[in-house]
Amino acid sequence: MKFLDIRTDFAFKKVFGSEDSKDRLISFLNSVIVFENSAKIIDLTIVDPYNIPMLKGMKDTFVDVKAILDNNTKVIIEMQVLNHAGFEKRILYNAAKNYSMQLQKSDDYHLLNPIIALTIVDFVMFEEFDKIISNFKLLEKKDFINYSDDLEMIFIELPKFNKSLEELDGIQDQWLYFIKNAGSLEYIPHDMAPVVNSAFETSKTALLTPEELEIQFKKREFIYIQKASLAQAEQKGKIEGKIEGKVEGKVEGKVEMALSLLKMGVDINLISEASGLSVDEIQKLTQ
């Protein structure tokens, strides 16, 4: 038995953005979003549900699922597998754009409803802390007074979630385990909540059409190629950085030696022989 890799856009939207995934999406959102007074999502409407033809393009490495909650809050759920320049700004821009687009010309501002941008990433975003889920709001810089609850950004960093099946504690752990590991499992784990079991059932590759299987395969292959390219570029950058660092270090060492000898009153010609710097370079140091 095999399952889709939920970290791909095709699988993520099939599980959480299809017509019959309302209960799954409500359960997942309730497990990761904390509302005031311990409120829970009772109902939601999925915007732009899963549609195969819309997923054929492989230009993007992310997908979003949009839902309107029972209190009219709009949630944008995004799965992002690759980090890239400007990623953080794009998340902020999308949240702000969805917030502002609610108003038509001459509408009153009180008609604006809150926006929650929930982003699941398959890379580490915040090395400053170890927590898996981080929450950002508009706060006063010094005293942390809340300005507004209308714009909220939540990030889930999958690489920081390392619990084994035996260590899972609660529905939140089960959902994170499912999203991160489903693609590498060969059976549905025991003791999972019924709603998580339904997600496993939906993601069985045996239930897919040949067209869906081809899309999933190509998308996963595309992501692996992109990740390998990024890793190779990063490794190349590190090697080049080390070479440049060594060269810069040698030059700095020569300059420091020359300056020390100059302070001691050593002849410039002798300093040139000892440091490897030219007489002209040493004379410039004296200036």
Tell me if 93 is assigned to some domain.
yes
Cβ–Cβ under 8 Å, residues 277 and 257:
no
Number of domains in the chain: 1
Long-range Cβ pairs for the range 85-89 (8 Å, 24+): 88/125
Region 100-127 average pLDDT: 88
Nearest to 196 by CA among 228, 166, 173: 173
Tell me if 2 is assigned to some domain.
no
Tell me if 242 is assigned to some domain.
no
Tell me if 29 is assigned to some domain.
yes
- Tokens at 61, concatenated: 């490495």
Q: Please report which confidence band the pLDDT of residue 247 belongs to, taking 50, 70 and 90 as the band edges.
A: very low
Exposed/middle/buried for residue 95 (C-beta within 10 Å: 0-12, 13-18, 19+): buried
Nearest to 63 by CA among 53, 74, 50: 50
Q: What is the pLDDT of residues 116-130, one digit of tens each?
A: 999 999 999 999 999
Give Cα 163 to chain centroid, integer Å.
Answer: 19
DSSP 8-state assignment for residue 204: B
Distance CA 41, CA 37 (A): 12
Stated pTM of the model: 0.72
Tell me if 249 is assigned to some domain.
no
Exposed/middle/buried for residue 142 (C-beta within 10 Å: 0-12, 13-18, 19+): exposed
Q: What is the pLDDT of residues 194-211, one digit of tens each?
A: 999 999 999 888 777 777
For residue 29, what are the domain limits?
9-208
Tell me if 159 is assigned to some domain.
yes
Tell me if 227 is assigned to some domain.
no
Tell me if 162 is assigned to some domain.
yes
